[in-house]
Amino acid sequence: MSEETSSQDGNGKVSRVIRIGTRKSQLARIQTDSVADKLKELYPDFHLEIVAMSTTGDMILDRALSKIGEKSLFTKELENALERNEVDLVVHSLKDLPTSLPAGFTIGAVLKRENPHDAVVLHPSNTGKTLDTLPEKSVIGTSSLRRAAQLKKRFPHLEFKDIRGNLNTRLKKLDEKDDFAAIILAAAGLKRMGWENRISMILEPEDCMYAVGQGALAVEVRARDADILEMVSVLHDPDTVLRCIAERAFLKQLEGGCSVPVAVHTKVKESQLYMTGAVYSLDGSQSIKETMQTSIAPGDEQSLERVDEQVQRVGVTAMKVPAEAQDAAERLGIKLADLLLSKGAKEILTVARQLNDAR
């Protein structure tokens, strides 16, 4: 628990204080508020306080994310506050969380995933066009190596340049200057901000597969806080948990991160978990892409897992999701990564990492 654990209202009623850590950006606040609202509904007697802070990734805006060389760009300061008991839980975009968390922390909840796909936002002067119909050498803004690698291959007539900043900043850079014909953003963020009207097109998996964990929110807690873990575990969305465990296991086995182009696509259908994973060279000219599936149907005797901080799969503790299904999802991610590695993925990623470092 955080230092101050209770507060008193005007009627003398004492309620437990739960402090929630978040980044300061508007999107982060909206995401955190949505989690707080769900918790307030479930635990009306708790007093929730939101503590906002800036992270390294928010402060370094003059370099591409893949060049900064820090795995926990958007999470470190928040985890420090968690460690110092200044907050009790932290809300993140799951894709910002490394596949291995620092000792003593766990992801206690993965909420129902918003649309995980990427979206094209066109400059107002290009309204009505698509990436296919944009003029030759049109410049597309993205700070993601994954997006750029896939789209360079699919749309060779376009050029790609880094664009940094939060959603508001990037949209402003697009609209107020003529540097970019369009920018690529996560559809989930635009939707949560209420800016769906800016989405010119959604990129389907054939054009651009998404990042590991994209579109999902995660609640990080101290692994030893059994009561907080129990409290947030009701927020888990089982299908999202299984998809994201598979995706994170895939990325971890590949030893990937934001400095290499790795992309995924997952779905759950009729008790089967389907997963497509791919790695790319920086220019998109080389790629390895495969699909696998596994059953996540419940066995005959399945019990819910007891609270145990050791039961973590790629940083996720999902107490309300059957262990058998979680194990199957984790194995699927590892097997798919091993298949790609056997076909030369390591070489492609090593060269991509070296080229990115040299840029």
The per-residue pLDDT for 67 is 43
What string of pLDDT tens digits covers the 359 residues of the chain? 444 465 555 555 557 899 999 988 899 999 999 999 999 999 999 999 999 987 654 444 444 444 444 444 557 788 889 999 999 999 999 998 989 999 999 999 999 999 999 999 999 999 999 999 999 999 999 989 999 999 999 999 999 999 988 899 999 999 999 999 999 999 999 999 999 999 999 999 999 999 999 999 999 999 999 999 999 999 999 999 999 999 999 999 998 666 689 999 999 999 999 999 999 999 999 999 999 999 998 765 544 444 344 589 999 999 889 999 999 999 999 999 999 999 999 999 999 988 888 77
Coil, strand or helix at 95: helix
List the one residue out of 130, 38, 94, 89 whose CA is nearest residue 243.
94
The per-residue pLDDT for 301 is 52
The per-residue pLDDT for 54 is 77
The per-residue pLDDT for 257 is 64
Residues with Cβ within 8 Å of 266's Cβ and at least 6 positions away in sequence, in order, are 243, 246, 247, 273, 274, 275, 276
Domain-wise residue ranges, the chain: 17-115+213-358, 118-202
> Which residue in 37, 58, 88, 96 is the catalytic one?
96
The per-residue pLDDT for 279 is 97
* Architecture (CATH level 2) of domain 118-202: 3-Layer(aba) Sandwich (3.40)
Please say if 207 is a catalytic residue.
no
311, exposed or middle or buried, with CB in 10 Å at 0-12, 13-18, 19+?
A: middle
The per-residue pLDDT for 4 is 44
Q: What letter does residue 12 receive in the DSSP assignment?
A: S
Q: Checking phi first, is residue 344 left (phi over 0); if not, alpha (psi -120 to 50) or beta?
A: left
Predicted TM-score of the model (pTM): 0.89
The per-residue pLDDT for 272 is 97
Contact 217, 31 (CB under 8 A): yes
* Architecture (CATH level 2) of domain 17-115+213-358: 2-Layer Sandwich (3.30)
